[in-house]
Amino acid sequence: MVNRLFYFKNHTENDAVFIDSGNIFTLDNDSLKNSYALKFLKKLNYDGVGVGLYDIPMEKSYNFLSLNFKEKNRLKYKIIERKGIKIAITSLFDKEWYSFGNSPFLRGDYQIYKNKLDSIKKSVDILIFLSQIDETKENKFFIDNNSIDIFISSNPIEPEFFDLEGRFFSNPGIHSEYIGHLSLLLDNNKKIKSFKNNFIPLDENLYPPDEEGKKIVDEYNFAYSIKMQKEKLNDKRFEYYPESFCRSCHNVSEKIHKHSFNSVSDKGSECLVCHTTGFGTTTGFRLGMDPDKTELENITCSQCHNIPTGTKFDGDIHDVIEVMPSNCQECHVKPHVREFHFYKSKRKLMKNHKVK
Same domain, 22 and 118: yes
Helix (H) or strand (E) holding 278: none
Which pLDDT score is estimated for 350? 60
Which pLDDT score is estimated for 267? 66
Structural domains counted in the chain: 2
Same domain, 194 and 318: no
Same domain, 181 and 226: no
Same domain, 108 and 248: no
Same domain, 75 and 10: yes
Q: Of 151, 173, 206, which residue constitutes the final position of a domain?
A: 206
Same domain, 82 and 102: yes
Which pLDDT score is estimated for 220? 85
Which pLDDT score is estimated for 317? 61
Which pLDDT score is estimated for 38? 93
Same domain, 191 and 292: no
pLDDT tier at 355, thresholds 50, 70, 90: low
Q: What are the backbone angles phi and psi of residue 29, rounded to the nearest 5°?
A: 55, 45
Which pLDDT score is estimated for 81? 95
For residue 105, give the DSSP letter: B
Same domain, 35 and 76: yes
Spatial neighbors of 85 by CB under 8 A, at least 6 apart, are 15, 125, 126, 186, 190
**In Å, what is the CA distance from 295 to each residue of 72, 277, 298, 305, 318?**
62, 9, 7, 16, 22
Q: Do the Cβ atoms of 307 and 241 come closer than 8 Å?
A: yes
In what side-by-side order are the strands of the sheet with 85-93? 77-82, 85-93, 126-132, 150-152, 167-171, 160-164
Which pLDDT score is estimated for 206? 67
Expressed in angstroms, the distance from the first to the final Cα of the chain is 51
Q: Whole domain around residue 338: which residue ranges?
A: 211-355
Same domain, 199 and 56: yes
Which pLDDT score is estimated for 341? 66
Q: Which of 96-105, 185-194, 198-207 has the highest mean pLDDT?
A: 185-194
Helix (H) or strand (E) holding 129: strand 126-132
pLDDT digits over 212-242, tens only?
888 888 888 878 877 877 777 777 778 888 8
Same domain, 182 and 284: no
pLDDT digits over 261-289, tens only?
888 766 666 788 888 888 888 888 887 78
pLDDT digits over 313-349, tens only?
766 566 666 676 667 777 887 666 666 666 666 666 6
Q: Do the Cβ atoms of 209 and 2 come closer than 8 Å?
A: yes
Spatial neighbors of 248 by CB under 8 A, at least 6 apart, are none
Same domain, 194 and 232: no
Burial class from Cβ neighbours inside 10 Å (0-12, 13-18, 19+) for residue 105 reads buried
Q: What is the mean pLDDT of the chain?
A: 82
pLDDT digits over 160-172, tens only?
999 999 999 999 8
* Residue 145 confidence (pLDDT) above 70: yes
Q: Of 153, 175, 206, which residue constitutes the final position of a domain?
A: 206
CA pseudo-torsion sign 164, 86, 49, 206: positive
Give me the percent of the chain exceeding a pLDDT of 90.
Answer: 28
Same domain, 238 and 193: no
Q: Of 150, 178, 206, which residue constitutes the final position of a domain?
A: 206
CATH value at residue 113: 3.60.21.10
